[in-house]
Structure 1
Amino acid sequence: MDTPQTTIGRDPELVSIRAFLDGAVGPPSALVIEGEVGIGKTWLWQEAVREAQQRGHRVLVCRPGENEVGLGFAGLIDLVGPWVEETSPALPEPQRRALDVALLRSTSQAPVGQGAVALAVVNLLRTLAGDAPTVVAIDDPQWLDVPTTQALGFALRRLGSAPVAVITTRRDAQPVDLLPARLPVTRIAVPPLSPGATYRLVHSRLGVTLPQPVLARVHEASGGNPFLSLELARAWTDHGTAGVDDLPVPEHLGALLRRRLEDLPGSTRRVLLLAAAMGTPGVPRLERACGHPVEPELALAELAGVVDSGDGTVRFTHPLMAATVYDAASPAQRRMVHRELADAGEEPEERARHLARACAAPDEAVAAALEDASARIALRGASDVAATYAQQALELTPADDHPACYRRATTAGVHALAAGDRTRSRTLFERAVVEAPAGPARAAAQRWLAELSTPLGQGIALCDQALDEAGEDWALASRVHRTRGAICYFLGDVPEAERHAGLGVALAERGGDDEALGMAVAELAHWTYCGGGGIRRDLFDRAITLDGSAAAASPRSHLAKVLMDDDGHDESRAMLTLLLDQTMATGDLDSASTHRFHLAELDLWAGEWGAAVEHARESLQLRQHLHQSEAPLYVEAMARACLGDVEDARTLAAAGLAEARRTEDVVFQMQNLHVLGFVDLSLGDHQSALGPLGEATDLMRPRWHREFGDCHMVPDEIEALVAAGDLARAEDLTSWTEEVARATRRAWTTATSARSRALVLAAGNDLDAANRSLDRALAAHERLPMPLELGRTLLARGVVQRRMRRRAAARTTFEQALALFEGRGATLWAGRARGEIARLGVRSAAQADLTPVEQQMAALVARGYTNREIAASLSLSTKTVEANLSRSYRKLGVRSRAELVARLSGASATAADTDGRGTSPITEGRSTPYRSTHG
């Protein structure tokens, strides 16, 4: 039911469409018309397009066919091609050039990135929507080519409040991949037609009046499906059926469609086969392919309801009709048609596609054509399609031509990696290793494979094999050493990373490869810093002189990360912001993702947790666009933990930890373990915090012991150890942090090691020494823009002051900490500060056994608050409240809320400062001493 000229049975759906368009003047939204094949989705979609045009909306239209799914930006050519001239002046030059090349409006010898094309689509849609509400209308999006789907999906996530609406169709059980998860979607489920509507439809479309018994049989057999109803009615009419029992009801709709095609002359069926193989050709193009006028054949096909060419483009009345035409031909007939289309093809890409479909066995000439087409497509930024063409070239290469197989496998692997498909890329490089001749060629393929290895440890052996094969290709050997060094870093072996980076520098110098040398020097400087060697400005300056690019692996990016880890937050932020702007302008989305990730880390440490979440999410979206790993999860998880969103933090960190363990990425194992431990520490559950924090510290300490960098878990473990009474391990770790602080003189390490020492001293009742240590910590905080760390140091100082009976000073210090926590939204830590302030007043003896958070919740219970109200008051989840109250019940030996209230109110006492040995300097609850292999 593609083009009926009535609204038979669809009035409610049309009302819904109009209501959607009435609201399509605000932020992006989508309308999805969904239902089974033949139910009438396309007609409703066409009505939605017509309504939008009548309202003055800009409407971008695309109706892709099955044969277009493997083309590069075919859908984008239809959607934005007509609007490029109008919007081009508003696009930055790199994006304008990328879009022109992608749409075949110009050519380029330098490849454009698919990210640049995607960014151009964002700005084009914003420009159009700035003049009028804009509609992106796509029928059958399952046939949209991958580069177009990725570009549109990228754009729809980044349009902000621009009035852009998507109107699309969806077959049952098929996803619409281009719609972002958070885009508001209105769904119209198209129902079957009633018997009366079916009767009117058949009469309107076919001019046939069905007898009541026949109508009942048609409606029952079709299930109210308009397309199938028309096919059944047409079959009944065409065969002159007089009785109901003779109504043809085949098991499959395809049998009906094939029967209709069989009634057409052979010459017409041949024209239809050519049209089906071409997609949606214009009439002149179809005539060139046929070599003669096709008007008579098209007229017969239109009369039979197979195609519609009224607008000069040959469109099948339903996608099933095109599929039936193509499937009805024999394999030999299809190959012959594709061969003819290849001979008549005007574009190398189109010619190669038809040659591949015409080929039944390996053929070097066809493989070469596909290889050439792949190179052309890659220049347009359609990396996924370029990989597909290169892979087809590989499959059609004679098996004994190993050099060609190696070359094409490598090319396909590089394109697949550029498209973000790491799994596909890995498979192709595995083939390249098999096909490569011994020596540098095999070493190059092994290096690529090492960079894609999962788990990471597999890459070590591949690098060693590559070094054996590289011989005297010094530039290649340099790259292999750099790859091995990076793998060692993420496996947690910093000394080995530093050693291989140094070898990479020496070999790059020997080979005279400035690009390799610049990256090798930058990585040497980075791993040297991680090994405790400080910021080597001389090395970074040299590297940036050799390579001033903005990519994720560039020297400037390495320097920005090192500056950030060394507490140079302002300089790092300025560099990262510039790098992000430059990579977004050129469409280097992979590098932009890395820069956003590091900006998210900066925001995390600066206490800007909302901004950290946004940067982390955007970084993750860019990585998902490229099928990259989920490293940014830990940043969002930690930001959520700081904000007190306990359940979200745990969920995100658990997902990040699972991915890091799968890949053997020690760095992100440590980071996600830190989040899980920090959540428990924030809740005052020190015993539970010790597990993940201890595991994280033990992953880092053996080989990563001279500089902490961005690994901040050790002071948190020390705090939990002191609270749990494991002073031996706390002392050991504190001595280690002090040693690192003396060597590096970093503000963060100095401040946190001095705070950790104060906790250990206070636990031993040496309060004067603890107070002096906190003085040193606060002095270091003056050059450390990390408000949460400052608040925690103030909290520790206030406890020490209270225990020294300096109650007024303690109150002032606690209030300063509370102001910091509340100002940043750190709800759990603010609760702890309020609890400490409350302890300076009157408290019950029972409350001494509760943590500050538990005390706060108990006080709200006493005031009659429900769990839901407590959760809302403290910005926590209900589950977190329930867990804390359960622990409070166990500690106080009560079984109900009433008993809890009675216990708290029955034994009040004046505040007393307890100086018991082994008591935590922050919370005076004592838990079972920590016992584990930590000693």
Structure 2
Amino acid sequence: MSGAVVGRDEVIDRARRALAEGRPVLLEGPAGIGKTVVHRAILDAARRDGWRVLDCAPTEIEAGLPFAALADLLATLADRVPRLPAPQRAALANVLLTDEATQPVDERSVGAATQALLGAALADPAEPRLLVAVDDAPWLDPPSERALRFALRRLVPRVAVLATARVEQSGAEPAPLGLDRAARPERLTLDPLGVGSLHHVLRAELGAALPRPLLVRIAGEAGGNPLLAIELARAVLRMPHPPAPGADLPAAPSLRGLVVDRLATLPPQTRDAIRLAALSGVPTLAGLARAGVPPSAFDAAEEAGLVTVGGDVVGFAHPVYAAAVRAEIPPGVRRRLHRLLADTTENPDERARHLARCVTGPDPAAAAEIAAAADRQRARGAPETAAGLYDCAARLVPPPVGEHARWRLAAVQCRFDGGDFPATKSAADQAARELTGAARAEALLLRAVVAWSSDEPPGAAERAAEAALAAAPAGSTLAGRIHAHLSLFRDAPDPARHHGEAAIELLAGSRNDRDMQAAALLLLFLNEVRGGLPARTELLDRALELEGPAPSWLAGIVPAVWWRAIDEHDRARERLHTLLDRATMRGDEPSQHELRTHLGEVELLAGRWPAAAAHIAAARELGEQNGSDQVGVKWLDGLLLVHRGQLAEATRIAESGLRRAAETDDEWCRRIHEQLAGFAALIDGRLPAAARHYGDLAATIDQMGLVEPLAQRFEPDWLEACVGAGDLTTAGAVLDRLAARHRRLPRPWTTLGLARSRVLLAGALGRDPSDALAELVAARAAVPADVLPFDRARCLLVAGVAYRRLRSRREARDALAAAAVEFDALGAVALAARARLEAGRTGGRPPAPRQLTATEREVARLAAAGRTNRVIADTLFISPKTVEANLARVYRKLGVGSRAELGAAMARGADVEA
């Protein structure tokens, strides 16, 4: 449709403006409306404007060729590939830019390499603007689509994007390549052309002008669709006489129908030729000649405008022509043609593709060829294509044959590798029903991994793995691998530990399962500690030696969890960054999401809160993009909010998490949000509520048999809440609990928490806290300043209050002033204010008559916020009578008579500075 750009000036101008503004452009419309012509016109204009254009035009038949579209798009950047990191360089060099892969392709590395390559092109000062263009984006092969989606999500709007999509109703479908998530795309619908524009289109395409009345009829019959109008005009021109004014035009129920009608006018040899071309992956004259098709067979089709022949390549003038040709082939004829192509092609993958479409009964030889092609497609990073071929191969041999089970399981694994969890679940369930013995156990283990990796209800992974273990041969390495997985899936430490021990015993000596042995050792180590046993660090050392440079996905995070638990933040950070670098180079976004969350927690404990916030934000963004579960990220965000004093939002997050835990019966979700709710209530001064949440958390942990909950360090806060709420009996029991944790596994946080708790409880019981204060000073001195700075500052706050109650005013002022400084350095607003409030109560020069003291100012602030006298007393650790006395002085000094007037005065800031 060389003239179809007529009448599209406004669309082209809007597209150019949007691209210049950094917004992706999506051209939408039905088949034949002229999207490709407009697409090319925009690209021509972009090149004239100085853009570097990377483009590809995938077709329906190429959708099964892995990375075909990406190879076309990146071809002009091939000289930059050698400068990429090794995993990315290998991925592109082996798949995109050469004919044969020399090693299995890591598809995630291809996505990361695509991002790096486009980023390098952006950095070229000679070509500052880069445009990625995809014509007919829905026909992208899945590996190319995923790689481009991965890269563009990170590079838009710095990289401009232009895509076309065939749709019947604009905006009804999500934008391809995730463009509606990367930015706000400009979605441009190509409307039907008017009679005047169609006149120019038909004259340019057919070389003749039609009479105006006939042109109007064709335009109305075609609905303004230029390709349909061209086909109608051709049908009219084939008539012996032009249709009379009242006569019907040639029947045109659809564009495809018109194409089929045109096919019927072609010689039989030409029809067979273009049928074979439509069924071929990449039709060439040489390949079709081996199938008995002479080049002259295409002459009539080329004259009719259906195909174009350029050099050795045969192409269809429009994708809808190829689709129409394939649609009209009867099933029996189609199988015969596929057999002919299979017997004459020189490409083994093309032969396998045709065999899969023509063999219907048991055929072990054909099945072997198809499975070999599936192996190659899998190595090249096309798991979806490989899965279909494996399924076909499995269908061509009866189930008792050993290869049947292997191919069926390979199809399940490929679907999992492609990230299609619903399809994997269905395929694994079908395989488990169909297979027996060890093969059934393998299918059930895959089913368990899918349940663990997706958002299935708690316990689904464990149940599937238990069924797999029951089906596995006793004493086999397969049973060992299942035990290793169960050691991860079981949250209770004792059962998890027993599975770990069984895995280590069964996998011992298996050279093919070193990664699983390392994982089992790590999980055994972790669960022994969680169960209250002494930490056997030799298990950790053996696992790290065994795993080599590539940690197992099953338990590679365990060393970092351990080092974080014992406050060795540098080691935990180093391990997590090593794993994150590997995941980033491979484009493994689910792992990046998990690792960013763990890094956020490490940096929060280490007092590097801006870094923690950055990791939390990155994890949140990755989760939103990938659909990963966000429970852990939201909880960690709430924890950071509490530390910073933003208590209302943190409380909302805690309440939402507890509701979800109740709905899903998710114990882990319940534990972390009980801790968050308790911490938010503690810092907010709601001490009875805090004590209740911590009590519920402890009950849950005890019920699980979790003696050492490594990630949850809550006893010092629980004790503080109990002391504030007046429950000294429970506070004493909590102190004993904390002391037991410290004896089992001394760590900086238990050292500081135990010392702080003893000072608090001694003061609450009316005992002399001098010895406890001395212990607190020694504990702070024993923990380096860069380890747990938040906990160290809280020790100063507790010490200052204790000194004040002992009437050691100088020591109290010094401790509280230092606490305020340390809280300020961290950004702990609420506790910094509390430290200053306590410092103000140690005495000093009296304030001017209308100025508020530090205590009065805090009482006034809380009263203006609507807090009751009881809550204010609990928050500030003073009695309700002291609150009443301070409020009376505040009212007198500010000249107000009610809390409503007090709120207005506080909002104005009238005379409230100390």
Partner of 2:84: 91
Match of 2:264 among 262, 265, 270: 262
Deviates more, 1:571-580 or 1:811-820: 811-820
Query: Which of the residues 110, 116, 119 maps onto 1:117?
Result: 110
**1:745 to partner: Cα distance:** 1.1
Could you tell me which residue of structure 2 aligns to residue 345 of structure 1?
Answer: 345
CA contact (8 A) 2:840 2:853 kept: no
Displacement of 1:759: 4.6
Instruction: Give runs of aligned pairs for residues 730-879 of structure 1, distance below 5 A.
Output: 730-761=731-762, 768=769, 775=777, 778-779=780-781, 781-782=783-784, 785-800=787-802, 813-826=815-828, 854=862
Partner of 1:479: 481
2:54 to 56, 60, 81: 60
Structure 2 CA distance for aligned equivalents of residues 231 and 106 of structure 1: 39
Counterpart of 2:65 in structure 1 is 71
- Maintained 8 Å contact 1:681/1:716: yes
Following the alignment from structure 1 to structure 2, what is the Cα–Cα distance between the partners of residues 416 and 894? 71
Query: What is the RMSD of the two structures over their aligned residues, measured on CA atoms?
Result: 4.4
2: distance between equivalents of 1:720 and 1:441? 55
Shift of 1:290: 4.6
In the alignment, what sits opposite 2:278?
A: 276
Q: Structure 1 residues 855 and 39, CA, compared in 2 at 3 Å: closer, same or farther?
A: farther
Query: Max radius of gyration: which structure?
Result: 2
1:294 aligns with 2:295: yes
**Displacement of 1:149 after TM fit?**
1.5
1:910 and 1:149 map into 2 onto residues whose CA distance is 61
Secondary structure at the aligned position of 2:530 is classed as helix
Note if contact 1:600-1:635 (Cα within 8 Å) is conserved in structure 2.
yes
- Show the 5 A alignment for 1:388-407: 388-394=388-394, 396-401=395-400, 403-407=402-406
Tell me the secondary structure at the aligned position of residue 711 of structure 1. Answer: coil
For the 8 Å contact 1:680–1:688, the answer to whether it is kept is yes
2:146 matches 1:150: yes
The counterpart of 2:24, out of the listed 26, 30, 37, is: 30
1:505 match:
504
Deviations 1:823-854 (A, max 9, x none): 44455555666666787878889998988975
CA distance in 1 between counterparts of 2:512 and 2:60 reads 46
Alignment correspondent of 2:96 = 103
Higher alpha-carbon deviation: 766-775 or 137-146? 766-775
Instruction: Please give the alpha-carbon distance, in whole angstroms, between the structure 2 residues aligned to 1:230 and 1:828.
Output: 74
- Determine helix, strand or coil for the equivalent of 1:167: strand
Q: Deviation of residue 486 (structure 1)?
A: 1.5
* One of 2, 5, 27 as aligned partner of 1:4: 2
Matches within 5 A, 1:185-224: 185-192=184-191, 193-207=193-207, 209=209, 218-219=218-219, 222-224=222-224
Q: CA deviation at 1:356?
A: 1.8
1:312-331 to structure 2, matched below 5 A, reads: 313-331=313-331
Q: Deviations over 1:297-354 (max 9, x none)?
A: 3x44344443444586444343333322221222222222222222233333322222
Structure 1 Cα separation of the partners of residues 31 and 837 of structure 2: 63
- The CA distance in 2 between the partners of 1:654 and 1:222, in whole Å, is 59
d(CA) in 2 for partners of 1:230, 1:463: 61
Q: Which runs of 5+ in 1 are unaligned?
A: 860-892, 912-935
Which AA in structure 1 matches 2:405?
Answer: Y
- What CA distance in whole angstroms lies between the structure 2 residues aligned with 1:140 and 1:658? 45
Q: Is the 8 A contact 2:906 2:912 kept in 1?
A: no
Secondary structure of residue in 2 paired with 1:246: coil
Equivalent of 1:901 in 877, 899, 904: 904
CA distance in 1, matches of 2:207, 2:707: 87
Task: Give the drift of 1:376.
Answer: 1.2
Tell me, yes or no, if the aligned pair for 2:416 and 2:450 is still in contact at 8 Å. no
Aligned length: 863
Is 1:494 matched with 2:493? yes
Pairs within 5 Å for 1:154-553: 154-159=150-155, 164-170=159-165, 171=167, 172=170, 173-179=172-178, 183-192=182-191, 193-207=193-207, 209=209, 218-219=218-219, 222-239=222-239, 240-243=242-245, 246-247=248-249, 250=252, 252-278=254-280, 281-284=282-285, 287-288=288-289, 290-295=291-296, 297=298, 299-309=299-309, 313-361=313-361, 363-394=363-394, 396-401=395-400, 403-438=402-437, 440-453=438-451, 454-471=456-473, 473-488=475-490, 491=491, 493-509=492-508, 515=514, 516-533=516-533, 535-553=535-553
Any idea what the Cα deviations from partners look like across 1:346-383, whole Å, max 9, x if unmatched?
33332222222224455444433322112112222333
Contact 2:291 2:344 in 1 (8 A): no
Q: Deviations over 1:91-115 (max 9, x none)?
A: 2333323223323726456423222
1:18 is matched with 16
1:47 corresponds to which of 33, 41, 44: 41
Q: Indicate how the Cα distance of structure 1 residues 846 and 837 shifts in structure 2: closer, same or farther if over 3 A, else same.
A: closer
1:128 is aligned to 2:121:
yes
- Alignment-derived partner of residue 141 in structure 1: 137
- Give yes or no for contact 1:429–1:449 (8 Å, CA) kept in 2: yes
Task: Give 1:368's aligned amino acid.
Answer: A
Deviations 1:71-107 (A, max 9, x none): 32222222224542x1232123333232233237264
- Contact 2:202-2:209 within 8 A present in 1 as well: yes
What's the secondary structure of 1:739's corresponding residue?
helix
In structure 2, give the amino acid aligned to 1:53: R
CA contact (8 A) 1:195 1:216 kept: yes
Shift of the alpha carbon at 1:568? Answer: 0.7
Q: Secondary structure at the match of 2:177?
A: coil
Residues 570, 852 of structure 1: alpha-carbon distance in 2 compared, 3 angstrom cutoff: farther
Percent identical: 32
Counterparts in 2 of 1:358 and 1:647: CA distance versus 1, 3 Å: farther
Segments of structure 2 that go 5 or more residues without pairing to the other structure are 868-895
Rounded to whole Å, the distance in 2 between the matches of 1:235 and 1:668 is 67
Q: Which amino acid aligns with 1:485?
A: S
Deviations 1:625-666 (A, max 9, x none): 887655652445544554567787678778877888888764
- One-letter identity of the residue aligned with 1:701: D
> Alignment partner of 2:531: what SS?
helix
Deviation of 1:757 (Å): 4.7
SS in 2 for 1:241: coil
**In structure 1, distance between residues paired with 2:274 and 2:651:** 58
Amino acid at match of 1:494: P
Aligned partners of 2:692, 2:33: CA distance in 1, in Å?
A: 57
Aligned partners of 1:446 and 1:466 also within 8 Å: yes
Alignment match, 1:700: 701
Q: Is the 8 A contact 2:109 2:585 kept in 1?
A: yes
SS in 2 for 1:745: coil
1:59 aligned partner, one-letter code = V
Give the whole-Å Cα distance in 2 for the aligned partners of 1:5 and 1:542.
71
Q: Secondary structure at 2:27's aligned position in 1? A: strand
Q: Structure 2-normalised TM-score?
A: 0.81
2:889 corresponds to which residue?
none
Superimposed CA distance per residue, residues 452-487 of structure 1 (whole angstroms, 9 cap, x where no aligned partner): 444453444555555555455443333232222222
Give yes or no for contact 2:269–2:297 (8 Å, CA) kept in 1.
no
- Contact 1:62–1:75 under 8 Å retained in 2: yes
Per-residue deviation, 1:187: 0.8
